[in-house]
Amino acid sequence: NPAWRGLIEEYREWLPVAQNTPVVTLLEGGTPLVPAPVLSDRTGCEVYLKVEGANPTGSFKDRGMTVAISKAKEEGAEAVICASTGNTSASAAAYAARAQMRCAVLVPTGKIALGKMAQAFMHGVRLLEVDGNFDDCLKLAEKLTQDYPISLVNSINPHRIEGQKTASFEIVDTLGDAPDLHFLPVGNAGNITAYWKGYREYADAGNSTKKPRMFGFQAAGAAPLVSGKVVENPDTIATAIRIGNPASWTQAIDARDDSGGRIDSVTDEEILAAYHMLAATDAVFVEPASAASVAGLLKVMNAGELDRGQRIVCTVTGNGLKDPDTALSNVPKATPIRVDAAEAAEKLGLA
Ligand code: F0G
């Protein structure tokens, strides 16, 4: 869409920006809502994928970051900081560079996908590794922003939620109404909070006739919202959602209860199966955490709890290119076959 102006200009009246707010944008948002024919066939529903990997830095974080960094700039901040499992750091790095602000990120040592690390460095952040998990990083980031003049751009910053809610607006604008069900992965729980806020605001304004039931899925090894207890040592192959104490805990539970939805978990095996299926059939390559939404849909279907004929949106939150290691270590065909010119036809089974 060549006319797309970035989500602040597209949805200005819904966002906390004024005429004098400096708009820091990379023309994020306006992401494709891709029909998923194979998933639709399998479920007997009308399934769409909201492909957030099509954002400028390859994840949904750009929606929140354009607003958070624009507001930080407006308030005169010269530096920002965040804790991250990878995508927030890549996004903060890019928007801070664009705004000519300094950026520091705190990440758990050894638990950040390769592509995200590369992005953060390329955009010029100070990357600090912490021997701990995301929850430890977030605590430290909050403390630093209390003690020093530096702005926090994690999703506990309300401007992040405001930006991220625009994904719901886009879905309603595209479909003409809200879907019946909305599936998404849940980590720190900012995104489910944001989507639910967006759907509510649009319905209240008469832009949709209904609101979807919100179905959030955590990784089984990092599922505090399912067990109701903080997970001290979260663990999952989906490093983006390796979080044991979500900051937006109560908002996520409210979204579930107010919408008549569900928060459940999917195993790493279920995540990887959905990850492969999405790439190989409906042909959308997402990162492992993103596949938790689709794994959740399949889990509900397999339990016999999915009525046919519903309109369903699954948010796939990040681009598959973010995490080449997981892709290459989990695909049986990832080892290339070496041939000389004479052997190619034979190895392909053509000769
Ligand atoms: N999917 C991806 C690809 C993510 O990077 C995240 C969160 C989520 C889902 C979960 O969203 O936290 O709003 O519930 N990533 C954060 C980060 C924590 O630091 O990049 P959530």
Are 52 and 200 members of one domain? Answer: yes
Distance from C-alpha of 31 to C-alpha of 53, rounded to nearest angstrom: 8
Are 242 and 304 members of one domain? Answer: yes
Closest CA to 98 of 8, 2, 31: 8
What's the CATH code of the domain at 26? 3.40.50.1100
Ligand 1: residue whose CA is nearest its atom 6: 240
With respect to residue 289, please indicate whether it lies within any of the assigned structural domains.
Answer: yes
Ligand 1, pocket residues at CB < 6 Å: 59, 61, 84-88, 155, 185-191, 240-241, 287, 289-290, 317-318
Are 174 and 197 members of one domain? Answer: yes
Q: What is the pLDDT of residues 150-188, one digit of tens each?
A: 999 999 999 999 999 999 999 999 999 999 999 999 999
Are 130 and 253 members of one domain? Answer: no
Ligand 1: residue whose CA is nearest its atom 10: 187
Are 119 and 167 members of one domain? Answer: no
Distance from C-alpha of 211 to C-alpha of 213, rounded to nearest angstrom: 7
Are 215 and 134 members of one domain? Answer: no
Q: What is the pLDDT of residues 5-48, one digit of tens each?
A: 999 999 999 999 999 999 999 999 999 999 999 999 999 999 99
Are 164 and 152 members of one domain? Answer: no
Distance from C-alpha of 322 to C-alpha of 57, rounded to nearest angstrom: 10
**ipTM here:** 0.99
Are 148 and 221 members of one domain? Answer: no
Q: What is the pLDDT at residue 68? A: 98
With respect to residue 100, please indicate whether it lies within any of the assigned structural domains.
Answer: yes
87 CA distance to ligand 1 middle (Å): 7
With respect to residue 348, please indicate whether it lies within any of the assigned structural domains.
Answer: no
With respect to residue 342, please indicate whether it lies within any of the assigned structural domains.
Answer: no
Distance from C-alpha of 191 to C-alpha of 317, rounded to nearest angstrom: 9
Q: Which residues constitute the domain of residue 15? A: 7-59+159-330
Task: Give the DSSP H or E segment for 197.
Answer: helix 190-204
Are 223 and 150 members of one domain? Answer: no
Cα–chain-centroid distance for residue 261? 19
Burial class (CB in 10 A: 0-12, 13-18, 19+), 51: buried
Q: What is the pLDDT of residues 44-55, one digit of tens each?
A: 999 999 999 999
With respect to residue 13, please indicate whether it lies within any of the assigned structural domains.
Answer: yes
